[in-house]
Structure formats: structure tokens, C-alpha cells
């Protein structure tokens, strides 16, 4: 099956020029790193997430000035299916149909299962898993029609292996991995790929926020949590950077990755090699 859109160069650089990417949860952390990398590779990007309105406006303007691409923003709440649909329709109308969807928005909560708050379970499943379904569902038809598309899910090492006290997160991320495989099978003949990037620990606000909870459940100090809990399973003993995750997203979005689908790429310092 050949793509109706002329092929882009295999080597990144500005190889994504003319593509439009939506990165959910991209006002900070990994999502912002991925959005920056895609923009640097020439893709127009739509940012999404929460944060201070003036800071987000400044962020969009800076990214546009640095990269020369068009940068849009949607404050859609990924817990709300109607806001996800509206964000995608608006991106389509204002910039272009989404060629590259990065399902990245996510939250974390750490607690033993017997006291895991019910509202936290629902919220994690809604943002980390159900939103991936809604956003994918909204873009995939147009991608199939256009015979080109990239769906990149931010999984986690926790999409492949478990840790205690993260029942909702591990369940959601394993779900994302299953969904990744189904979408890959349904789109394989249409020039569309779907994969998950599975980072180990990346130093972002999401990790910073869980340190206090980890101190509580493990009875350890902050330094002990970083050394004995967070970096213990990561043989490199260093945090992954958002730039490293961004580089993999650019590769998966390139035409060089067109035969990679339904799988995961671990960026975890060797975590799951154990």
C-alpha cells in the first residue's frame, strides 16, 4: 500500500516539515520535551495541558520563534471526552488534520491498594488510559483516509512490569500497551503506525510530586527514596532526560520507522533487562 502523501526524508533534521502533531499533556515534563523535539524536526505542534495562561502563551510564542513552525494550544481536560473531540476538531480547522498524535498526558498516585482512594483510581484510568482511546478514536479515521499517521503513546516501564503501591498507574499503562497493539493491527495496512515509548524514571514534576508519597509508604527520607526506590531498578542510576524521549518520538514519527508498529521502545536505562 503506498502513501498518497509524498515520502519525507528518512533522516530526521527538518524531516517532519509539513506534518502536524498534537501532544497531550505538553505544558511540562516529557510532553513538552517531545513537543519541542517534534517542532525542531519541523512539525507544527498543538500543545495541551494545564498551567498558568500567561506562561503557556509565552511558551507557544518562544517555541514558534525558535523553530519557525506553527504552535497552537488547547486547554482541553483529558478527563472529558467532549473536550478531547473539540480539541482535535479545532486543530483540524485552525492548523491541519493531525498527522502525529502523542498520547502523553498522565498523572500518578502512590498508595497501598487497600487504602487507594477511589477518586484517584478513576482519575488515573480516565487520563492515562481512557483519554488515549478517545484521542486515538478521533484522529485515526482521518489518518487512514490520508494513508499516513503516527500514534505514539507514552507508556512507561510500568506498562511492562509492576511496582508496589501503583495499582491504578500500572493497570492503566498495561492497558495502554494492549491498546497500542490493537490500534497497530487495525491501521497496519493504511500507512499508520502505533507504538508506545516506555521510559523509566524521568525527572519531571510528576516524579517530584510522588516523592512525598513514596517517603510515607516506604518510611524513607527523600534522598533514600531517590536512591533506593526511584533509581534502584534503573541500572544506569541516572534519570532519563525529556530530550532522550523526544528523540525517540521524532524517530517513530519519521518514515524510517514506518515498519515499526504495535510495539514498545524502552528508554529506561536497562530497567526491564533485569
The correct pick among 50, 57, 89, 113 for binding ligand NAD (CB under 6 A) is 50
The correct pick among 12, 15, 42, 49 for binding ligand NAD (CB under 6 A) is 49
The nearer residue to ligand NAD, 67 or 234, going by C-beta atoms, is 234
The nearer residue to ligand NAD, 154 or 195, going by C-beta atoms, is 154
The correct pick among 21, 23, 30, 91 for binding ligand NAD (CB under 6 A) is 30
User: Does the annotation mark 109 as catalytic?
Assistant: no
List 169, 201, 239, 271, catalytic entry: 169
The nearer residue to ligand NAD, 191 or 200, going by C-beta atoms, is 200
Beta carbons of 130 and 241 less than 8 angstroms apart: no
- Pick the stretch among 12-20, 22-30, 136-144, 220-228 that binds ligand NAD (CB under 6 A): 22-30
Beta carbons of 142 and 97 less than 8 angstroms apart: yes
Give yes or no for residue 23 binding ligand NAD (CB under 6 A). Answer: no
Binding-site size for ligand NAD (CB under 6 A) equals 29
**In the 3-class helix/strand/coil scheme, how is the chain assigned residue by residue?**
CCCCCCCCCCCCCCCCCCCEEEECCCCCHHHHHHHHHHHHCCCEEEEECCCCHHHHHHHHHHHHHHHCCCEEEECCCCCCHHHHHHHHHHHHHHCCCCCEEEECCCCCCCCCHHHCCHHHHHHHHHHHHHHHHHHHHHHHHHHHHHCCEEEEEECCHHHCCCCCCCHHHHHHHHHHHHHHHHHHHHHHHHCEEEEEEEECCECCHHHHHHHHHHHHHHCCCHHHHHHHHHCCCCCCCCCECHHHHHHHHHHHHCHHHCCCCCCEEEECCCHHHC
- Nine-digit cell string for 19: 506534518
Q: Which of residues 167-226 bind ligand NAD (CB under 6 A)?
A: 199, 201-202, 204-207
The correct pick among 8, 77, 191, 264 for binding ligand NAD (CB under 6 A) is 77
Instruction: Tell the smallest beta-carbon distance from residue 186 to ligand NAD (Å).
Output: 22
Instruction: Tell the smallest beta-carbon distance from residue 75 to ligand NAD (Å).
Output: 8
The nearer residue to ligand NAD, 30 or 226, going by C-beta atoms, is 30
Instruction: Tell the smallest beta-carbon distance from residue 157 to ligand NAD (Å).
Output: 7
Binding mask 104-143 for ligand NAD (x = CB under 6 A): xxxx-------------------xx---------------
Q: Are strands 264-267 and 192-199 parallel, antiparallel or unpaired?
A: parallel
Binding region for ligand NAD (CB under 6 A):
25-31, 48-51, 77-79, 104-107, 127-128, 154, 156, 199, 201-202, 204-207
Amino acid at each position: 500500500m503506498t502513501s498518497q502523501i509524498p515520502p519525507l526524508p528518512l533522516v530526521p533534521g527538518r524531516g517532519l516539515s509539513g506534518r502536524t502533531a498534537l501532544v497531550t499533556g505538553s505544558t511540562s515534563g516529557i510532553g513538552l520535551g517531545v513537543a519541542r523535539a517534534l517542532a525542531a524536526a519541523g512539525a507544527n505542534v498543538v500543545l495541551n495541558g494545564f498551567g498558568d495562561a500567561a506562561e503557556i502563551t509565552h511558551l507557544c510564542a518562544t517555541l514558534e520563534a525558535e523553530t519557525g513552525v506553527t504552535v497552537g494550544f488547547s486547554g482541553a481536560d483529558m478527563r472529558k471526552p467532549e473536550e478531547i473531540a473539540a480539541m482535535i476538531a479545532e486543530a483540524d480547522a485552525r492548523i491541519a488534520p493531525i498527522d502525529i498524535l502523542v498520547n502523553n498526558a498522565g498523572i500518578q498516585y502512590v498508595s497501598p491498594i487497600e487504602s487507594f482512594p477511589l477518586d484517584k483510581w478513576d482519575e488515573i484510568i480516565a487520563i492515562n488510559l481512557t483519554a488515549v482511546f478517545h484521542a486515538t478514536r478521533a484522529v485515526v479515521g482521518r489518518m487512514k483516509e490520508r494513508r499516513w499517521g503516527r500514534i505514539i503513546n507514552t507508556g512507561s516501564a510500568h506498562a511492562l512490569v509492576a511496582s508496589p503501591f501503583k495499582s491504578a498507574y500500572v493497570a492503566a499503562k498495561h492497558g495502554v500497551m494492549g491498546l497500542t497493539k490493537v490500534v497497530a493491527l487495525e491501521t497496519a495496512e493504511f500507512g499508520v503506525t502505533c507504538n508506545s515509548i516506555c521510559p523509566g524514571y524521568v525527572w519531571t514534576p510528576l516524579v517530584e510530586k510522588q516523592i512525598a508519597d513514596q517517603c510515607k509508604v516506604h518510611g524513607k527520607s527523600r534522598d533514600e527514596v531517590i536512591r533506593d526506590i526511584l533509581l534502584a531498578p534503573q541500572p544506569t542510576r541516572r534519570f532519563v532526560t525529556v530530550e532522550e524521549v523526544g528523540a525517540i518520538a521524532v524517530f517513530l514519527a519519521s518514515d524510517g520507522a514506518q515498519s515499526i508498529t504495535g510495539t514498545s521502545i524502552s528508554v529506561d536505562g536497562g530497567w526491564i533487562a533485569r
